[in-house]
Structure 1
Amino acid sequence: MMMTEENEVESTLSVCGHNIQIAEVLKDGEMLSFLIVSQKLSGTGEYHVHRNYDDFEWLQHNLFCQEDVAGIQGVIFPPLPAKAQVNTAAKVMKQLGFLSLGEWQPYCKALEVFLQQVAAHSILSKNKAVEVFLTNPDSPGKQKVKKNIFNRLSQAVDGMRKEGHKDVDDFFQTARDHNLVLTNCTKTVTEKLLEVVQTEQKIAVACGHFSAALLLCVEPGDDPNKQAFSKVCVKLSEVFESMKKSTTGVSENDVSTMGLGLDLESRYQEAIKEMLFRRTCKLVELEHARRNAEKAKPVKKAAMEELRKAAETEFEDISRVAKEEITRFEAVRVKMLQQAMVQWCEKQLLTAKECADQFTQHLEVFRGMNFK
């Protein structure tokens, strides 16, 4: 599920960006450590590095801190999943949703996709921090992190004032309107599917418990009636154990296909929302600069004009990059969701066929039983 251009960009990294994998996750108390494996472009081997979540945040901060890159605030940054709280199950479920299921496999997959998308991005992949993160055996997270240009506190303060500001470009106003709808809808659909998965998991657990309980009804002895009853209990136990495996398989399929697909879509819609908000803030700044230049006294006129020109250039760069990013995203997102749906159908069909074969065997056994 890659949110990247169909044509791969020319890589500036020493690794194959699309082959980055998280091969293992280790739990040390409340800390998770991830083994990241990257294939060398030279074809002579692989890089193996261990990273924790602080290291991922270090990489994200470095990507945010590229003030010297023209239009950087117009980039739709690949969304980094929230930090996992290892020993607080309820909080993890609320923060991570699907990513908290499956003994951290979905979470590792989300981090893996994040790295693949960063490495495949035409702007972000050029940052030296990406190469360091993927190839340096030492943990980079201990280095001092600079204050980045996307301070969330300042966003929260300015949000009520700027978020509803009318855009001067119909393209971006339409994008903002669509994003508002899609963000809410995607979040709702993701939450509803998560409820379905949790219900499937509860059903699987209940089937397992009932299967075990049936075995407790088995009675020893030579009494034909007891033997017949015990035989039925054993067989029914096997049936409910098959039901447990079937429901568990359906649940796992939901998570690994549609669950991860909707989770990524939801987080990307939030990333688009943040990008559009940054651009709106720059629009407000530009309008202020223009008004200040118009009202400036002669002694300050030249300085105000310079500020206006600088604001216009920055806003134009952000808008140019943002338009390219939105166009690219829209071209890929439908294919990404389609891929998730196709995978979901294929896996569920395979699981259904396997379950049908198992239940057919159970049925034949019951038909052959003599209860007289």
Structure 2
Amino acid sequence: MNRSGKTADTMEGSGLTISASSIKVNEATLDEDTLVFSITSQKLSNGMGVCVCRTYEDFEWLQQSLFAPDEPDLHGVIFPPLPAKLIMSPQSQINNKTLKQLGFLALGDCCRTYCEALELYLQQVALHPILSKNKALETLLTNTESPGKQRAKKGIFNRLSQVMEEKRKESHKDVDDFFQNERDNNSNMTALTKVTTERFLDVVLAEQRLSVASKHLSSSIQLWVNQEDSANAAFSKICLKTSKVFETIKRNFEKTAENNISTLGLGLDLQSRYQEAEKEMLFRRTCKLVELEAANKNTERAKANKKGIMEEVRNVLEKQFDGMSSMARQEVGRFHQSRVALLRTALVSWCEQQLNTATEIAALYSEHLEACQKLPEE
């Protein structure tokens, strides 16, 4: 069983020659001011390993390549969400802007959490029954040359137009109760997931601060130790024992925070981004619905000499809308199943790791207690 909640036998996409379960983003290295990710995978036919190096622009190229504007049915697909770009500052410090944009993905040692998020993204694309057939995915995983240079950049005016369109159409009433209910549920779940993720992130940041404070306190106590002064030997021993206790407390907070980030934190972050991805798909369908309703009105008002042309336009839009809606229904069903499986896997992994940490720390506390009980004898 892997983090997607599926077994290896059910993971392989029908059009992909790479084993989806074998896709790993192993590490990120900084080349001047650019992060380079090492990606490994295995061929399904012979198990041969493949290793490529990719930048974030390559991932953006893949995401854009998956969305084909000339295939209306694909507008009903919930595309696996690509994490926002990780910007490395010269001092490798996490500022408030980066933390707000990336959340848990900005934390973790040596970009490990961010690599795991990109790994999950690639695996989700490879698992998708339609997107896995796109040759762009195999190009990204196997070609030695970077495909990111072919990326088409979006201008700021495109984004501004999209925002204005969203404001105008997002409250449009749907003709299908199934999709209207899904839009309402998505709006509620998106808000709740975002709040939950933010609160859990606050917990992790507090644990990290407590870990640093415990380390400082341990170091400060060690300054009181004077092994050359025999008169204060007993006091020095107490200070040493106390310092070790705070080292263990520091380790507890540190390990707990790491577990929170790599399991439930990563799971909540993925949930939040997937809710946004579903919202985008539902909005695309709403836009097509508005377009179809406008075509119906234009057909009714059209004069006799233009009636046939307008009916033809309406019929094309209706066919596109029906195909998109059919695809969207399937995607919503897959989305809910995947969402539950991913969250369950994250919760189970979180519980297991925290239990292991608690067992380890409890054993260390027992050793400290035993050592402290022997102090009067010494």
TM-score normalised per structure 1: 0.95
Whole-angstrom CA distance in 2 between matches of 1:283 and 1:274 = 14
- Counterpart selection for 1:100 from 106, 109, 116: 106
Q: Which runs of 5+ in 2 are unaligned?
A: none
CA contact (8 A) 2:5 2:341 kept: no
Structure 1 residue aligned with 2:210 = 203
Could you tell me the percent identity over the aligned residues?
Answer: 51
Q: What CA RMSD, in Å, does the superposition of the two structures yield over aligned residues?
A: 1.9
Structure 2 residue aligned with 1:220 = 227
- Counterpart selection for 1:352 from 346, 354, 358: 358
One-letter code aligned to 1:28: D
Whole-angstrom CA distance in 2 between matches of 1:20 and 1:222 = 60
CA contact (8 A) 1:197 1:254 kept: yes
Structure 1 residue aligned with 2:368 = 362
Structure 2 residue aligned with 1:139 = 146
State the secondary structure of the residue aligned to 2:69. coil
State the secondary structure of the residue aligned to 1:2. coil
Whole-angstrom CA distance in 1 between matches of 2:239 and 2:139 = 60
- Counterpart selection for 1:261 from 261, 267, 272: 267
Q: Which runs of 5+ in 1 are unaligned?
A: none
TM superposition shift of 1:10: 4.4
State the secondary structure of the residue aligned to 2:164. helix
Q: Per-residue displacement from partner, 1:247-288 (whole Å, max 9, x unpaired)?
A: 111111111111011000000000011110010000000000
- Counterpart selection for 1:86 from 85, 88, 103: 88
Whether 1:32 aligns to 2:29 is no
CA contact (8 A) 1:253 1:344 kept: yes
More divergent stretch after superposition (283-292 vs 23-32): 23-32
- Alignment of structure 1 residues 111-150 onto 2, 5 Å: 111-145=118-152
Whether 1:279 aligns to 2:285 is yes
- Counterpart selection for 1:243 from 237, 249, 261: 249
TM superposition shift of 1:69: 3.0
- Counterpart selection for 2:21 from 18, 21, 40: 18
Please list every run of at least 4 consecutive aligned residues from structure 1 whose deviation after the TM superposition is greater than 6 angstroms. 3-6
State the secondary structure of the residue aligned to 2:196. helix
TM-score normalised per structure 2: 0.93
One-letter code aligned to 2:59: F
One-letter code aligned to 1:257: T
TM superposition shift of 1:97: 0.6
TM superposition shift of 1:152: 4.0
Structure 2 residue aligned with 1:77 = 79
TM superposition shift of 1:161: 1.2
Structure 1 residue aligned with 2:197 = 190
More divergent stretch after superposition (74-83 vs 330-339): 330-339
Whole-angstrom CA distance in 2 between matches of 1:192 and 1:222 = 49
TM superposition shift of 1:299: 1.1
- Counterpart selection for 1:48 from 48, 51, 60: 51
One-letter code aligned to 1:247: F
State the secondary structure of the residue aligned to 2:102. helix
Q: Per-residue displacement from partner, 1:170-229 (whole Å, max 9, x unpaired)?
A: 0000000000000000000000000000000000000101111111101133433x1111
Structure 2 residue aligned with 1:178 = 185
Structure 2 residue aligned with 1:58 = 61
Whole-angstrom CA distance in 2 between matches of 1:125 and 1:352 = 41
